[in-house]
Amino acid sequence: MEKIQSVEAIEVAADGDELSSPWSSTVVLVKVTTTRGAVGWGEAPTTLMTHPVRTSVFEVGRFYEGVELERHAEALRRFEIYSFYRSRSMEATSALSAVDIACHDLVGRSVGAPISTLLGGAVRRSVRAYSNGWYSDCIEPEEFAAKARAMVRQGFTALKFDPFGAEYRSLSPAGLRAASARVRAVRRAVGPEVDLLIEYHGRFWPEAAIRAGRELDQYAPRFMEEPMIPEFNDALATFRREVRTPVALGERLLTPADFQSYLARGLVDILQPDITNSGGFTYGREIAGVAASFGAPVAYHNAFGPVQTAATLQIDAALPTFFLQESFEASWPVWKRSLVRGYSIDHGVFQIPTRPGLGIEVDEKAVDRFRSEIVDPIGPEPPWVIAGTWRRRSPRDSGRRVPRARRRSPPP
């Protein structure tokens, strides 16, 4: 029987001059190889946890290596038993997710079917995308408006953006006026037919989040994402009573039970799981079932790399309550695009791959070329923002990535 022989975490980054936000400048790929030499790929998130996730992949891999490929779910369930903090450790669930994705890629390839078939069958062949990452270096309302028009010209009918600049926890009157002016400018630029999605990045105290929600309601956004600091999410019940716009969240929820709890307590309207930290396809099926049981729309979070996109598209194909799909592809640097072939986005629509497994081919030469040991940067902006929106970059930095720490490994 074909067995899992090795599980390897590979960090990929580029040291060139191409622009990329801090959180998207590194990709963590997971390569699972079988005793027959077959290879499957997964991906894990980064965002100031690149090296901890790589270490967690090693821990997870110990449970998979030597296991028959067709019984890989047994390794996942055994890891559940041993990993005492798994339900609250994004490092553990991210590593587990990446390995699970890679195993499904291998199984799909072995039977000659896309993963959507393994999930019960595709109910759609394409999905509407919303663009994110398009507003780098935008501070003034007219800058947001100009870039928003450019994305609509590319065919996107939905745009997500964070209008809050460097406001954090509290929200000053001037900060709220500035955010409102930016959203107003985008709405006027693209008209009423384009969906606007407001990203809060989970940064405000409840009172500030509610004030912002009341103000931005007037621009008819399709949803407001992560309005408040996650520790205070119980206050989302009040937010939903006082703000008309639906609430979306989920990228920081790790288990199917987390999603069920938020829905049952009336804290969320639209779910945004991330397949690379919420258990891959194995838990993804359960999350989809939870969403369907509540009739909750699902818009998968998808902010990292191309293997994540390919995996997300496979689960989108089978989702009973699919809503929208996040896409950063239009804002990626060339090096990241070079890693994978096999899926496409055109005029704001993803075509879902139908080839076996993830339906993609990873360019291992490109992966080797961009292998890295870089630690996550500590730059002038937090790693979760779009570059140049928290603090405008100087002209000499225009078109260049945020400076990184030197190549080095973390201390043992």
Q: Looking at residue 331, which CATH number applies to its domain?
A: 3.20.20.120
Same domain, 348 and 374: no
Read off the CATH number of the domain in which 47 is found. Answer: 3.30.390.10
Confirm if 184 and 231 have CB atoms less than 8 A apart: no
Reading the block at residue 86, the tokens are: 């798994």
Report d(CA 175, CA 338) in Å as an integer.
39
Question: Do residues 85 and 164 share a domain?
Answer: no
Domain's final residue, options 361, 389, 406 = 361
320 within some domain: yes
Nearest-angstrom CA–CA distance, 97 and 355: 21
Cβ contact 33:5 at 8 Å: yes
Whether residue 67 lies inside any domain: the answer is yes
The per-residue pLDDT for 405 is: 41
The reply to whether 268 falls in a domain is yes
- Catalytic residue at 301? yes
Query: Same domain, yes or no, for 288 and 169?
Result: yes
**Catalytic residue check, 201:** yes
In a domain, 44, yes or no: yes
Same domain, 90 and 137: no
pLDDT the model gives residue 24? 78
Number of domains in the chain: 2
pLDDT at position 404: 42
Same domain, 52 and 82: yes
Q: Which of 341, 361, 381 is the last residue of a domain?
A: 361
How, if at all, do strands 26-34 and 4-13 pair? antiparallel
Same domain, 151 and 85: no
* Cα distance between residue 332 and residue 18, in whole Å: 9
Contacts of 376 (CB under 8 A, 6+ apart): 22, 26, 46, 47, 48, 49, 50, 51, 383, 405
| Same domain, yes or no: 311 and 391 | no
For residues 12 and 331, is the Cβ–Cβ distance under 8 A? no
- Kindly state whether residue 212 falls inside one of the protein's structural domains: yes
Catalytic residue selected from 51, 72, 104, 301: 301
Whole-number Å distance between alpha carbons of 137 and 399: 10
CA angle centred on 336, ends 330 and 337, rounded to 5°: 60
**Are residues 108 and 122 located together in one domain of the fold?**
no
| Position 402 in a domain | no
Residues 132, 57, single domain; the answer is no
Domain that holds residue 309: 117-361
* Domain assignment present for 299: yes
Q: Are residues 314 and 222 in the same domain?
A: yes
Tokens of 334: 């060339």
Q: How far is CA 52 from CA 93, 298, 412, in A?
A: 12, 29, 12
Same domain, 186 and 267: yes
Same domain, 128 and 16: no
- pLDDT for the residue numbered 20: 66
Asked whether residue 31 is assigned to any structural domain, the reply reads yes
- Residue segments in the chain with a per-residue pLDDT below the cut of 50: 398-408, 411-412
Among the listed residues 51, 104, 201, 347, the single catalytic one is 201
